[in-house]
Amino acid sequence: MVTAGTTRPRAVLIGPPGAGKSTIARKLADRLGVGWHDTDEAIEAAEGRPISDIFVVSGEAHFRTLERTEVARSLAACDGVVSLGGGAPMDPETAGALSGHTVVFLDVGIADAARRIGFDGSRPLLLVNPRAQWTKMMNERRPTYERLASVRVDTAGRRPRAVVDEIVAWLEGHR
């Protein structure tokens, strides 16, 4: 939920495709009694089309501009839990905007990511040889995710409730 003039997000979730950002954001927000906001969903709603169509029709550069704008808006207006698309933190402007926020890096291995997202056509950066592309992408992105993170939480082989429990315990210890 995004409302103008409110405080900072309680937590911002980052991580690769298949880490569970959207699922964990919803469940974490419920546990904390706050709203949640998924920047990818917001972009799709505003554009009236899926991200895969934005990539194909308008190009990645156009999508990244939309994403940068939506992340900045969300960080300024959301007082709940915000989940970002996997590539959002790679943008230097977005990475800078995350400074000072509570950033949770949801980490995951390829086996769990593949099971969760299926590596289908809805992931435009994973269209050709999805397992190899995911591994390459994660190797490139991991240092940024780790640098920006306030805390790293491994989601591999874990139920959402256990992941949320760990995040809540960390948040309570870092008030």
114 within a domain of the structure (yes/no): yes
User: Would residue 2 count as lying in a domain?
Assistant: no
Tell me the pLDDT tens digit for each residue of 22-53.
Answer: 999 999 999 999 999 999 999 999 999 998 89
What is the spatial distance between Cα 13 and Cα 89, in angstroms, rounded to a whole number? 10
Domain that holds residue 100: 11-170
CATH number of the domain within which 115 lies: 3.40.50.300
Q: What confidence tens digit (pLDDT) does each residue in 41-93 have?
A: 999 999 999 988 998 899 989 999 999 999 999 999 999 999 999 999 999 99
Structural domain contains residue 45 = yes
Residue 40 lies in a domain: yes
**Residue 29 belongs to some domain of the structure:** yes
Residue 68 maps to a domain: yes
Contacts 24+ apart (CB under 8 A), 52-60: 52/121, 52/122, 52/123, 52/124, 55/124, 55/125, 56/124, 60/124
First-last CA distance in the chain: 22
Number of independent structural domains in the chain:
1
